[in-house]
Amino acid sequence: MIFFARRLHQQIIEKNSHLCIGLDVSPEALNDESQSIDKVIDHSIKVIDATFDLAVCYKPNFAFFERWGADGFKWLENIVDYINGKNILIADAKRGDIGNTAQQYAESIFDHFGFDAVTLSPYMGSDSIKPFIENPEKGVFILCRTSNSSAAELQDLQTGTGLLYEQVTKLSVELNKNDNVGLVVGATAPSEIKKIRELAPDLPLLIPGIGAQGGDLEKSMQYGNANGDAIINISRGIIFAGDKSSKAIRAATQNYLNQMQRIMNG
């Protein structure tokens, strides 16, 4: 048995990459007025074919699949089969529910679909997280300080013993008995990444917000990898790069990878 954080670390070393690619394909982004599911499916496969040896993880956001209903879930099932263990698969589902229901979600995401990890919302507390971390081979990334512009409304509230996101960090460290708990921290909040890294030296960080959202790649890499591991998620900056051809997608991926390697070596 390989604990989740260990498996993630091995892939980072083997591929010399900290890259996670968000598989968030919509007909609007493809300028497809026919709203055809076949076109978004084809594009997702094109992205995987062009990048699988460069990416450590893929992170499909469930919203982009659910909007197609049952057909979208079939597509998601096919993506997991297609990747077939070549990359670590993170279900970006942001789940958070009572224990009984969280157990159903864990079965869905880990057993039915076969994902390696899932993103979770902490608002309902540890009950809503525990069913996902019982199996050390499967991991979670708990929303801590997110990349969106209204993130601070609740997450930066002062709670007496630190800001709310710092409380979430401490709770996550306590829950990390099986070396399989990580945190989501937005690249748009680099000073928060630094603080979170101090509070949680060993937890893997999943850092979205580079590209369309304007996050800071250099600081995210430096602070995020000061201890533990950080993976950087890019979605739109890769999957819709240039003319959206395989060549343009691979070139954008290689470019991000080069930047990351320079930062790590510099």
Q: How far is CA 239 from CA 108, 218, 225, in A?
A: 26, 21, 25
Answer yes or no whether residue 169 interacts with a copy of itself by CB under 8 A. Answer: no
Tell me how far, at minimum, the Cβ of 227 lies from a copy of itself, in Å. 25
State the CB neighbour count (10 A cutoff) for residue 206: 28
Considering the candidates 15, 39, 74, 94, report the single residue annotated as catalytic.
94
Tell me how far, at minimum, the Cβ of 129 lies from a copy of itself, in Å. 9
Strand 205-207 relative to strand 139-145: parallel, antiparallel, unpaired? Answer: unpaired
Closest CA to 21 of 254, 265, 263: 254
- What is the amino acid identity at position 108? S
Tell me how far, at minimum, the Cβ of 167 lies from a copy of itself, in Å. 6
Q: Which of 39, 68, 178, 202 binds a copy of itself (CB under 8 A)?
A: 68
> What 3-state DSSP class applies to 232?
strand
- What is the amino acid identity at position 249? I
Closest CA to 144 of 187, 97, 109: 187
Q: Which of 101, 135, 259, 261 binds a copy of itself (CB under 8 A)?
A: 101
Token pair recorded at residue 208: 């979205």
Catalytic residue check, 94: yes
Answer yes or no whether residue 202 interacts with a copy of itself by CB under 8 A. Answer: no
Q: Which of 79, 102, 206, 210 binds a copy of itself (CB under 8 A)?
A: 102
**Residue ranges binding a copy of itself (CB under 8 A):** 24, 26, 61, 63-64, 66-74, 76-77, 94-102, 104-105, 107-109, 111-113, 121-128, 143, 146-155, 157-160, 164, 167-168, 171, 212-213
- The residues assigned a catalytic role are 94
